[in-house]
Each structure stands twice: as C-alpha cells, then as structure tokens.
Structure 1
Amino acid sequence: MKLIKQKPHPATRKIARILFWSSLSLRIALAGLELTAGLYIAGTVTLPLINFVVLISALFLIQKRRAVLYILTGLLIVCNAALLLINNDCAEYYFTSPQKTNTLVIREKSALISSGWADVYSREFGIFKRKLDYKVGTDDSYQPFAHGQYRLEWTGEFTALLDYYNGHGYQQLEIKL
C-alpha cells in the first residue's frame, strides 16, 4: 500500500498568500500610525484579530512539513490568544458632542489587569482614536463606567465635564479635545 502525499490546493495557497501579505501590511501600517502619529484603531479586539489572520494564513504557507515552523507559529497563535483573553477585559465608551462633530472615547481597564484607571481618547477619522493627556483614576480597581456611576456633560463642542465615582467619592475632570 502506497501513501499518497497530499499537497495543498494551489488556490488555497494563493488565498493564504494574499491574506498573509495584506493583513501583515495592514498590521505594520497600524503600528506605524501608533508610533508616529499617536493614532490607535478603535475597538478592543481589532488588532488581535488581524494578528490571528496573519498567523493562520502563515500556517498555510509553510512548505515541506517544517515542524519547527509549525510549532513556532502554533506557539505564536497560543500567545496571541492568551493576550486577547487578558486584554479583552477592556471596554470602550463613546460620547458624542451635541453638534456630533467630536467623540470622546473612554477605555476602561478590567479590575484584573489595572490598578484602577481608564484612558481618555478623542475619536478621529471615524475608525481611529488619539490618546489624550487625561487619566480617570480610581481606588481599588473600581470601574465607574461599568457600574454606571459617572455623568458626562458637554460644556462646548470641544470640552466635556466628567463626574465619576472613584471608589471613595465623586471626582470631577474637565476634558478638552
């Protein structure tokens, strides 16, 4: 009895190659925007999903049964999944200005991975957000946005007043976009 060596279909390899290079290029471009312009992609799972596409399409591109490459790619997939699970406890809250020209984004960290703070962003170009120099700080990893213990009032098109519970009492923060 002779074993038949099955090769991947050429169309599968072509699709994997296109997915790999396009998603890798997108990931590099997004990393470049973060480093040079301070722009981050909106959402909490977008970057890990792009990473998964790169890694899984790389599995289809490995030729000649190279066990080391399969193991390395598999380990990278597991690490990416672990980072996704750890960092996915974040939630983003969006607040639009009265004239709908500006959006404030609050990214609240999980109580498991943070010491009680949230980052403040301004939404730009629809799908990006720029980190502002404000932090919403709380005591004992308290999450005021998840518990609904906050009030945000727009005082102008570029200014918002945020009152939030920090674990011991209410605190006020004026945010200028």
Structure 2
Amino acid sequence: MEYISHYTSPLGGIIIAGSRNAVTGLWFDGQKYCAAGLDPEHEECTEENILPVFQEVRRWLDRYFRGQEPGFLPPLDPKGTAFQKSVWDILLTIPYGTTMTYGQIASRIASEQGLPHMSAQAVGGAVGHNPISILIPCHRVIGSSGSLTGYAGGIERKIRLLEMEGVDVRKMSVPE
C-alpha cells in the first residue's frame, strides 16, 4: 500500500509518497511528472495517522528549508529502471551546496560500467524523471556551460533551492 502526505514549503506545496518504510515520491504541486507512478489506490495520511517515515521527511524538509544541511536521509525507495537508479545514486553523492554537470555524471557512469562513453542526454532524462525531488538532489545538476537547465519543479525553484544551499547562481545562466 502506498500513502501520501502534504507539506507546505516556502516554495509551494509538496506531495510526499511512500510505503510504511520508505519514501517513494516527493513532488512540488503541479511539477512535471507530479505523482507519476503513484498507486491510484493510495491512502492519504492525516495529521492523526501520519506515518513515522513521513514525520522523518518533514523533519528533513524543515531543516532544509531553514537553510541547514539536514545531516541525515530518510529511507528512500524510488521506482525506476536500473539506469535511472544508477543516475539517482550518483545524485545522492553530490554534496549539499555544490553542483555537478550532466556530463560529469555521464562520465562517472561510463567509467563505473566500463563503457567508452555515456550520453549526457540519457543522464538528463533520468535526472528529469527523479521521483523524489530535493531528497535526491536533482536540482544540483547543471549544464556543462553553467546553465541552470532541466528541473521538473521549474527553473525558479531550482534557483531558490541552490541559493538556500549557498550556491552562487549569479555565475550561472538561465535558459531562454
């Protein structure tokens, strides 16, 4: 059984999805791919019956939106292909307050898999379909030229998230 809970952030409403043991989704209201893969038979938690895993996510988000590195990660169980999961695993290694390019991720996957090359565009597709925004920090991925491209939650949110982490976005470009 999958459950959902709602969280109000400074950047808008957030939907949290999960099982009793792990987070399976986290999306800003209305973002691209919002609730993709969510079980149609899900159950909504109320404040009275909120799951412990959702309490942990809320604690993480509270710290994060206060501008603090949370220092822990709730249990995650994103649904995706083996390739997508390999990309999301790399996203989890990007330190708070730093960025990585799609090309750097592609090079790392190619190296780990013994391949001569990996497409940055394929990496971009996996990053864009990350079902657990913020916790799996897809907002920390930028274009090789410093472009703040490709965030399903919207470029303005991406900018705000990076700024909250202390990233100087003034040196980065915003796509037209």
TM norm structure 2: 0.23
TM norm structure 1: 0.23
Indicate the structure with greater strand content: 1
Work out which of the two has the higher radius of gyration on C-alpha atoms and give 1 or 2: 1
